[in-house]
A and B are shown apart, each in its own frame.
Chain A
Amino acid sequence: MESLASLACSEQVVCNSPLPTASIWQDVLAQAVTGELMAAMNYSALSTICDDPEEVADALEHAQGEQGHAGAFAAEGRKIGVIVPSNVNARYWKRIREAFMRSIAERDFIACLIVQEIMLESFAVASYTRVGRAAPGSLGETFAAIAADEEGHIEHAMEILRSERAKGPQRFDDKVYRLHLDVMTTLTEMVAKECRHGQCDLCHSSCVKPSLSEVGLSTAELRGASLQQYLKSLDALGLPGEVTLQWVTQLPV
């Protein structure tokens, strides 16, 4: 398995593949690899604030799992003849990482779970599922398998979060809202129709978004599916649907 450090900030490379759409998949994979690496870093950081040894072990296991996902995506890139770049300091990912690290600094285990398991994983599960359906061969299979894997490990976090909300729904919902403003604003900018603030620092040449239709994807579908998954996750936690709907409709477009 490749080390976290070697993958976290790789050099960008030129696409040289016989697959006509390889350069598009290269950019899609770059986002996925970066997201997985950031998740691995987040879980590693989370392990440092866990009091319960079991939770420490869980967090480290998750970190390793996410690193494995990053490796699997990078391997899929090699299969189609591209080397997949990654950059956890890219514009949007850096802001998300900083938001997560603020919760680490506050030693707020629950806030970390909300960001990683509810917000980031909602986007990962929904978008990987969509990409899994659109991507050819083993590339699609890998996206679909990792989507299923991510979905599987959310449930444990959901149990912890539901139990936490039961102790004080108002306090819990206020915390989710604060994190929503911080993290979801960035995530929705990331999947907006166009990058209004310039390049995302991950696409290897021009922005990949206008080209997604060539591989049967669209930002509208990825954004819609991701926000839908997010709303359903919040529903599952017991937050009032009319409140979370307002939160989502107030996000930037």
Chain B
Amino acid sequence: MGHATAGVTVQGRGSDIDFALIGHQESWRSAADVLAVLRGAERTRLPDDEIREIFPWIPPRAVCNVEVASATGAKARGLYIDCFIPPDHLDSEYVHDNIGRVRAAAACAIKAGARIVSLGGFSSILIEGNLSMLPGTADTIFTTGNTLTVAFIVQGIKKMCALERRDIAWSTLLIVGATGDVGSGCARCLAPFVKRVVLCARNAKRLQTLAAELEADGTEVEIATSLEQFPIAADIVICAASLASPVLRLGRIAPEAIVCDAGYPKNLNPGGDMRGARVFSGGLGQISSGLSFMPDFKGILNRHPFPDVAHGCLLEGMTLALARRFEPFSQGRGFITRERVEEIETIAALHGIHLAPLYNAEGPLDGMGASI
């Protein structure tokens, strides 16, 4: 599988790299864990103050090799490339530096010969659907991965409604971050199934455009530019806002509302008062036929209580690589449609990539998945 290079084993490079996953760490704890793996178990962990000093200086680069197996028996090989954005530098004041890091990470993917690249977390938010900002090449295709994220959010909402014995048809759905790529995709997919949709985002014009689109299909829609404004207590909530840290306060929601936190970093503080709400982490899928990292970052790069779980945006790149469909499936800018969501979830399912078991900060919610 590889050859030893100077004390470190690396896999072959070049045309055998099918995909690259571009990401970043959402907390200093996860950043520390990544550095601990790189240092090796035989060395002491770096002190927190050292990590905060070293981390911002690391240029974007591949951190490990990734191999994913399909239910069909196919395999795809790739790289995880970290932008090394310091977890406390996700705010708008660092946007230019962070865009530079994403571009440098994209250049690493191109140099490695990756055929398709998924943009995880803020790396797609920073690019804002403008993939032309990335270094150009005909041989490497970029996808935001958001279509599969939407698919898993929608599946998660439906599963949670079934688990909680809620009739989705009588529900009021609130989407926070509704005009974003993921938020608007969720609105289009779920609007036909719910009684009413409440869209919340900062940009009033985009809200009106999306509301008009949904209303044209017969959906009852309310819009609000702040969470304090919406008049109706929602009983299903999707949090898909681009927030640098978990600071969202939902305010008025129905008791025992179903709340999907689809943010990376999370939108909601796990310790926040949610008044009996059924919160779950959304947009996650699970690979049934095997996911491996070299060096072994299992449980470090994918910090979930179940094995082989990853965010939909990253899984989209792996899915397309397994399907040998090297195309910019998700390009951002709010063009995710129900048809495209159904298409990517069908491809993912064919390769054994399904909705991950539902969980939240307190643990598993459906008793289905085996914990690590």
A residues sitting closer than 8 Å to B (CB atoms) are 170, 173-174, 176-178, 180, 193, 220, 223-225, 227-228, 231-232, 235, 240-250, 253
Contact = CB atoms under 8 A, between A and B. Distances in A.
B161 interface: no
A245 B6 contact: no
Contacts of A170: 3, 5
A190 B225 CA distance: 54
B61 A245 contact: yes
Contacts of A240: 5, 10, 13, 62
A246 B8 contact: yes
Given A245-B63, A247-B7, 19 more contacts: A170-B5, A173-B6, A177-B5, A223-B54, A224-B54, A228-B58, A235-B59, A241-B108, A242-B62, A242-B63, A242-B65, A242-B79, A246-B38, A246-B40, A246-B295, A249-B35, A250-B38, A250-B40, A253-B50
Interface in B56-73: 56-59, 61-65
Q: Select the residue from A178, A247, A253 with max chain B CB neighbours within 10 A.
A: A253
Contacts of B35: 249
B43 interface: yes
B59 A232 contact: yes
B139 interface: no
Interface in B9-65: 10, 13, 35, 38-40, 43, 46-47, 50, 53-54, 56-59, 61-65
Nearest to A228: B57
Contacts of B6: 173-174, 176-178, 180, 243, 247
A242 B66 CA distance: 12
Nearest to A245: B61
29 contacts: A173-B5, A174-B5, A174-B6, A177-B5, A223-B54, A225-B57, A228-B58, A231-B58, A231-B61, A232-B59, A235-B59, A241-B59, A242-B8, A242-B10, A242-B61, A242-B63, A242-B64, A242-B65, A244-B61, A245-B38, A245-B62, A245-B63, A246-B8, A246-B39, A247-B7, A249-B38, A249-B39, A249-B54, A253-B50
Q: How large is the interface on B (under 10, 10 to 19, 20 to 34, 35 or more residues)?
A: 20 to 34
Given A176-B6, A242-B79, A243-B6, A250 B59 contact: no
Q: Select the residue from A173, A242, A249 with max chain B CB neighbours within 10 A.
A: A242
A247 B295 CA distance: 13
Contacts of A253: 46-47, 50, 54
A188 to B, nearest CB: 11
A224 B62 contact: no
A224 B49 CA distance: 13
A220 B108 CA distance: 26
A223 B55 CA distance: 12
B329 to A, nearest CB: 26
A250 B45 CA distance: 10
A224 B46 contact: no
Q: Select the residue from A177, A224, A225, A240 with max chain B CB neighbours within 10 A.
A: A240
B5 A250 contact: no
Contacts of A232: 59
Q: Select the residue from A174, A193, A241 with max chain B CB neighbours within 10 A.
A: A241
B43 A245 contact: no
Nearest to B38: A249
A209 to B, nearest CB: 13
A244 B56 CA distance: 16
Contacts of B38: 245-246, 249-250
Q: Select the residue from A177, A220, A243, A245 with max chain B CB neighbours within 10 A.
A: A245
Contacts of A247: 6-8
Contact of B39 (A174, A228, A250): A250
Interface string B279-304: 00000000000000001000000000
Contacts of B64: 242
A235 B38 CA distance: 18
B209 to A, nearest CB: 42
Nearest to A227: B57
Which 8 A-B pairs give the minimum distances between C-beta atoms? A177-B6, A224-B57, A241-B61, A220-B53, A249-B38, A242-B62, A228-B57, A243-B8
Contacts of B59: 228, 231-232, 235, 241
A52 B44 CA distance: 47
Nearest to B60: A241
Nearest to B108: A241
